[in-house]
Structure 1
Amino acid sequence: MTSQSPPAVVNQAAQKHKTRQIMASSIGNVIEWYDWYTYSFLAGIFAGQIFAADNHLVSVLEAFAVFAVGFFLRPIGGLLIGFLADRWGRKNTLTLTIMLMGAGSLIVGLCPTYETVGALSPVILVFGRCVSGLSIGGEFAANTTWLVESAPPGRRGFFSSFQYVSTTIGQLIASGFAALLTGLLTESSMSSWGWRLPFIVGALICMVGLWIRAGAAETRQTDKAVRRPKMFDAIIHYPKASLMICGITIAGTIAYYTWTTYLPSYAQENSGITASKSLMISTIGLAFFCVIQPFMGMLSDRIGRKPMLLASSGIFAVGIVPALALVRSVTGFVPLLVVVLVGMVILAAFTSISAAVNAEQFPWHVRAAGVGFPYSLTVAIFGGTAPYVGTWMTKISHPEYFGWYIAALCAISFVVYLFLHETHNKELD
């Protein structure tokens, strides 16, 4: 007679496996976005050390130009590393991406100053950010696929939600660490060496991530009889699904980068609220946003993805103009916080399930590359430019145009969602 493990032991082992998969997926997102936001928070501090401009503002602009270069390498990373994930397996590729994360962060943290090596200093910085840009595009492609494929039946929305849970945690850690260092160190110490610490710490955390991912399970089939995909197979053979990813992503990415990243600056520029108040509101909003993701993911497993996508894009399309008008007119802490929190709930209806919806559009053999390239390209075009577009419209004395711009993009996605097939009950191959 074959012995069997007691049900309690089996359930415990299964739960441990699920937890390990979520942790292994989340750690990469935490590190990647910690590094990404650390750069944006500290660029104004270290810019003078790397760039030889007479004007500090010019140095800061050059530092943010490097940041933009890394942003536009994300689609290349999504295509290239997504292709590797489809051929080599998700787990193997995610080992590569977390090593690239550590390398990119370490290069920036140890980058010599302009005074030491001259023009080579900004070249090294650019190289480090290019490595980070490639890794973040590839991390999303392989990570999204791996996370959703790890989910039990009827739980893909819940598993998917941890994509943005981990992203938000990384952002919160970055802002907290930067605030701690600027509070503890003098201005001269921070500009000379203190800014390097967060990047070096990020590289060290990658070692922890490697250990966590070593014990996780592969989700890609490894049948040698199945033809391995070529790099552009997803685009060539599934053009409709590729375009769908773009349409699905437009509303979510413009809303996400506006509401979680640019809103504090928008409020300061247009309402007169102090920087400390707007940043505090943003921090509370991000913490709230992080907590509600799993609940929204579970809701989508019950009612479906399509109703939530339609609700999110529709409410933003109709409500973003009056919402931003409120932000421009309200100076009180509590009213502005309420506006931010309501927006976070609407936004979470998209972010909590975006990984699941994207993964559900492609068959397994091209899923990572199929998701990675169009998603990262759309984010780079619409999400990465959101702060610039909003600032430019304020500069030309028409900040209200920004709301109409967002509304138009959300309306495009709303139309796409109308034609989207419901996928929450679809069985992944």
Structure 2
Amino acid sequence: MNTVQRIRGIIAGSAGNLLEYYDWYVYSSFAIYFAHAFFPHGDQTAELLKSAAVFAIGFFMRPVGGWLLGSAADRYGRRTALTVSVTAMCASSLIIAFCPTYDQIGLMAPAILLIARLVQGLSLGGEYGASATYLAEMSSAHNKGFWSGFLYVTLVMGQLLALIILLLMQYVFLTPEQISAWGWRVPFFLGAVGGLLIFWMRRNMEESENFKSSHKKKEKGGLKVLWKYKRAIMTVCGMTLGGTVIFYTYTIYMQKYLANTVGFPKDTATLISSASLVVFSLLQPAFGALSDRIGRKPLLIYFGVMASLCTLPVFSMLSEIKSPWLAFLLIVFALSIASGYTSINAIVKAELFPTQVRALGVALPYAITVSVFGGTTEYIALWFRQIGHESWFAVYVSACAFVTFLTVLTLPSGSQIDTSPENTAN
């Protein structure tokens, strides 16, 4: 495979990843505007708590998606699984875009919303494993860390795109009342339309040489084979636990924290979150390239130590800040710590498994851990606030990061990704 084909495949895989995560994060970005449309009316925290619960429940389909689409990626190819994944995600976005409100159909509204989010959770559960595996296998041996960073670039850009659309609505096109009334439907519709383009791009992706070679040899995969790699499975779970909680804390929950706790206006909170995500996305390939030089483990240790020690001070300072600029700098500092994990976690996990179970091995334990810990991050944060002990959330986040630190210390050396000449860049 030549360099042009390799880069074209990485772009196609990454673009689909961007759209999938855009569709997923539009929900959380616009929740402050549409929560009232789907649930019985109450105070803002109560409505956000209900929308956060649906967000968390959607995560529990991710292990199912990791199993189904991960197995499909190992059996039928990364390209097939990625195409199915983006199709399911965008169809669900279209359903949300046209879903009637609670005032119109009562409890059917949150029921339809929940079903759509369950399908999206299934889709995203398979997306991560297949796309992480595809990027790892398509990258040349000497720059796998650099290309791995682009997985979270697209993930963050998906979230950032959702926030940019929100900012355009807030500052240019619509009033807050119009966004709350009907404007929140627009980004879900745009995501569904974008899926048509990504579907076409992914149908024409090149399959990785690693998969082609494994498929020719008829190497068996599946859960039975995966279970032989128990240590690798536990390593993925342990690494993901702290990483996903930190990520969702400073990207998803932070917008609501700035508005609901610190007291910034909604549009200011959105602007701060958007600006910090731009910097965060730029950090990913830089940290990934650094790992190609110094190794993956030092960066992961940096993440584990700093996230364990700095989370409580960061939240304490944020709660007292009145300046948007200072809030922005503090969040960027926290995200620079998170980058020690986010930039390279995909390649580290992919390197733990052989080709025939790589997509399943990355997707399933990752999806289970994200469902239990990542998907509940926002809900736990809001719950601590509701019971009057908001500072306990920072302690919880630090404890999760410490688990990742302990896991990183046990990382094995070496990679199971074939780096023979036919799989390196020409």
Aligned to 1:406: 397
Aligned to 2:270: 279
1:150 to 2:142 alignment: no
Question: Per-residue deviation at 1:224?
Answer: 4.4
1:22–1:162: 8 Å Cα contact kept in structure 2? no
CA distance in 2, matches of 1:297, 1:362: 20
Question: Per-residue deviation at 1:231?
Answer: 3.8
Aligned to 1:76: 64
CA distance in 1, matches of 2:114, 2:333: 38
Aligned to 1:175: 163
Aligned to 2:374: 383
CA distance in 1, matches of 2:113, 2:387: 33
Query: Which shifted more, 35-44 or 280-289?
Result: 35-44
Question: Per-residue deviation at 1:426?
Answer: 6.7
Question: Per-residue deviation at 1:403?
Answer: 2.3
1:304–1:424: 8 Å Cα contact kept in structure 2? no
Query: Which shifted more, 325-334 or 94-103?
Result: 325-334
Question: Per-residue deviation at 1:402?
Answer: 2.3
Aligned to 2:284: 293
CA distance in 1, matches of 2:250, 2:288: 20
What does residue range 335-414 of structure 1 map to in structure 2 within 5 Å? 335-414=326-405
CA distance in 2, matches of 1:286, 1:191: 24
Query: Which shifted more, 261-270 or 359-368?
Result: 261-270
> Which runs of no fewer than 5 residues in structure 2 stay unpaired?
421-426
Supply the AA of the counterpart residue of 2:112. I
**Deviation per residue, 1:385-415 (Å, 9 max, x gap):** 2222223333344333222222222222111
Query: Which shifted more, 110-119 or 293-302?
Result: 110-119
Question: Per-residue deviation at 1:141?
Answer: 1.4
2:55–2:375: 8 Å Cα contact kept in structure 1? no
Question: Per-residue deviation at 1:423?
Answer: 4.1
What does residue range 34-183 of structure 1 map to in structure 2 within 5 Å? 34-51=22-39, 53=40, 55=42, 61-113=49-101, 120-183=108-171
1:304–1:423: 8 Å Cα contact kept in structure 2? no
For residues 44 and 424 of structure 1, do their structure 2 counterparts lie closer, same or farther at Cα, with a shift above 3 Å needed? same
CA distance in 1, matches of 2:261, 2:188: 33
- Match 1:204 to one of 187, 193, 199: 193
Query: Which shifted more, 244-253 or 32-41?
Result: 32-41
CA distance in 2, matches of 1:371, 1:225: 22
1:305–1:424: 8 Å Cα contact kept in structure 2? no
Aligned to 1:24: 12
Aligned to 1:258: 249
SS at match of 1:155: helix
1:223 to 2:215 alignment: yes
2:14–2:150: 8 Å Cα contact kept in structure 1? yes
- Match 2:232 to one of 241, 246, 249: 241
Query: Which shifted more, 120-129 or 152-161?
Result: 120-129
CA distance in 2, matches of 1:334, 1:194: 29
- Match 1:213 to one of 182, 186, 202: 202
CA distance in 2, matches of 1:249, 1:319: 19
How many residues align structurally?
A: 415
**Deviation per residue, 1:139-193 (Å, 9 max, x gap):** 1111111111110111111111111100111111111112323452355654454
CA distance in 2, matches of 1:129, 1:351: 24
Question: Per-residue deviation at 1:31?
Answer: 1.0
CA distance in 2, matches of 1:268, 1:108: 25
Supply the AA of the counterpart residue of 2:66. G
CA distance in 1, matches of 2:136, 2:343: 12
For residues 223 and 257 of structure 1, do their structure 2 counterparts lie closer, same or farther at Cα, with a shift above 3 Å needed? closer
Supply the AA of the counterpart residue of 1:33. Y
Task: Calculate percent identity across the aligned residue pairs.
Answer: 37
2:52–2:379: 8 Å Cα contact kept in structure 1? no
Question: Per-residue deviation at 1:366?
Answer: 0.5
Query: Which shifted more, 155-164 or 340-349?
Result: 340-349
Query: Which shifted more, 110-119 or 100-109?
Result: 110-119
1:160–1:356: 8 Å Cα contact kept in structure 2? yes
SS at match of 1:399: coil
Greater radius of gyration (CA): 1
Supply the AA of the counterpart residue of 2:183. G
CA distance in 2, matches of 1:426, 1:133: 28
CA distance in 2, matches of 1:403, 1:49: 31
Query: Which shifted more, 26-35 or 328-337?
Result: 328-337
**Deviation per residue, 1:236-273 (Å, 9 max, x gap):** 22111111101111121111111222234334455445
Supply the AA of the counterpart residue of 1:345. S
Aligned to 1:6: none
2:152–2:343: 8 Å Cα contact kept in structure 1? yes
For residues 249 and 48 of structure 1, do their structure 2 counterparts lie closer, same or farther at Cα, with a shift above 3 Å needed? closer
CA distance in 1, matches of 2:327, 2:49: 30
SS at match of 1:223: helix
For residues 122 and 397 of structure 1, do their structure 2 counterparts lie closer, same or farther at Cα, with a shift above 3 Å needed? closer
Alpha-carbon RMSD across the aligned residues, in angstroms, is 2.5
* TM-score, structure 1 as length reference: 0.88
> Which runs of no fewer than 5 residues in structure 1 stay unpaired?
1-12
2:62–2:125: 8 Å Cα contact kept in structure 1? yes
For residues 393 and 190 of structure 1, do their structure 2 counterparts lie closer, same or farther at Cα, with a shift above 3 Å needed? closer
Question: Per-residue deviation at 1:76?
Answer: 1.2
Aligned to 2:424: none
Aligned to 1:4: none
Question: Per-residue deviation at 1:43?
Answer: 3.6
CA distance in 2, matches of 1:59, 1:406: 24
2:139–2:147: 8 Å Cα contact kept in structure 1? yes
Question: Per-residue deviation at 1:70?
Answer: 1.3
